[in-house]
Amino acid sequence: MNTLITAPAGPTQREPALPSPRGPVSTAVLGYLRDAAHPLPDPARIAAADPLGDDLNLALYACYELHYRGFADVPAAREWDPGLLRARGELERLLLGELRARATRRQGARDALDELLVEPADGGGVTHFLRDQGELWQLREYAVHRSVYHLKEADPHAWVLPRLRGRAKAAMAAVEFDEYGGGRADRVHARLFADLMADLGLDPAYGRYLDAASATALALVNLMSLFGLHRSLRGALVGHFAAVETTSSPGSRRLAQALRRVGAGQRAVFFYDEHVEADAVHEQVVRHEVVDGLLEEEPELDADVAFGVHATVWLEDRFADELLTAWRTGRSTLRERAARTEGRTATRAGGAA
């Protein structure tokens, strides 16, 4: 059976299975999650890892996942294991240091966000590509990568709420309420993305495609978790969220057009149609209430908010370059060998499942 195009055989388990390791650091971390007698990676081994590579980002993602749904057969108490938290701190230090080195710019928060309102004249992004020439297999691959976030959509951002005050807190809570469906379980955005996946013939089980997602797809989620879990990075989290909401509406419109063009079902299209309207409103609320409210209360966080914007844009650009470089030569972007060899063939030949 095709490992990419599958529907769940029965009820979805509450916690995903542990992923396969991608190097010595993730091998040690995952081994420790299975059995606390397994040694954690030492600082020297962690320091040798590529901050943006598969090994470090899978290890960090696994550490963070304990604060979300966890993993099957991993004790819930492991979430606050002191040794694991020390190792996680080393992993975080490398990723954050790399992002600060690559993405820091001399620009204030408002200028950084204003810059996002002007789209590149060449229209060379992933959503432009998918709208204009993307094939169904490429849209499915895009959904696989994004599933590591969208099936937990809004959760990393909820951690910032206790760290905000006044206007910023109230406005952030209002946006989060929308992300969680406005009180309706069937409209929770993570549920809508699961519907999109099922409509595209993908398995919507939480964590199903963790082994297939790229290092940069994992890093994008790690960035959210890193910013959300540290009070000292609350400004960066707000900047990240503002960048996402500012760019979401036009990108979502292009993805909805792409899905319609390839004949995807209504549930797939609906996810992005919903974001076109919702995120156009959210962008205004986040910019003028969350960001402005935060900087009124804590103007010293201006550089942190700008860093959150710049780190998000830099990492998204890296992700886009990786996808487009592969797709323009007909190559899959997924890590699973079976998905690379079978998924593209099946989607080209069979259309939507």
Q: Which of 246, 241, 215, 196 is CA-nearest to residue 334?
A: 215
pLDDT of residue 315: 98
Give the range of the structural domain holding residue 281, as residue numbers without chain letter.
107-350
pLDDT of residue 122: 62
Portion of the chain with pLDDT greater than 70, in percent: 90
| Residue 300: alpha-carbon gap to chain centroid | 28
Residues 69, 154 within the same domain: no
Whether residue 165 is contained in a domain is answered as yes
Residues 31, 130 within the same domain: no
Residues 81, 127 within the same domain: no
Question: How does residue 11 score in pLDDT terms, banded at 50, 70 and 90?
Answer: very low
Question: How does residue 347 score in pLDDT terms, banded at 50, 70 and 90?
Answer: very low
Where does a domain end: 52, 80, 100?
100
First-to-final CA distance of the chain: 13
Question: How does residue 117 score in pLDDT terms, banded at 50, 70 and 90?
Answer: confident
Structure-model confidence comparison of residues 75 and 281, the more confident one: 75
Whether residue 9 is contained in a domain is answered as no
Where does a domain end: 73, 100, 127?
100
- What's this model's pTM, rounded to 2 decimal places? 0.91
Residues 161, 274 within the same domain: yes
Residues 223, 288 within the same domain: yes
Q: Which of 210, 178, 211, 205 is CA-nearest to residue 193?
A: 205
**CA-based R_g, the chain, Å:** 20
Q: What is the largest CA-CA distance in the chain?
A: 57
What CATH number did the domain enclosing 214 receive? 1.20.910.10
Give CA angle at 293 (166, 183), nearest 5°: 60
Residues 157, 238 within the same domain: yes
Question: How does residue 7 score in pLDDT terms, banded at 50, 70 and 90?
Answer: very low
Whether residue 301 is contained in a domain is answered as yes
Residues 165, 241 within the same domain: yes
Which tens digits make up the pLDDT trace of 53-89? Answer: 999 999 999 999 999 999 999 999 999 999 999 999 9
Question: How does residue 91 score in pLDDT terms, banded at 50, 70 and 90?
Answer: very high
| pLDDT, average across residues 17-35 | 97
Whether residue 341 is contained in a domain is answered as yes
Where does a domain end: 81, 100, 119?
100
Question: How does residue 107 score in pLDDT terms, banded at 50, 70 and 90?
Answer: very high
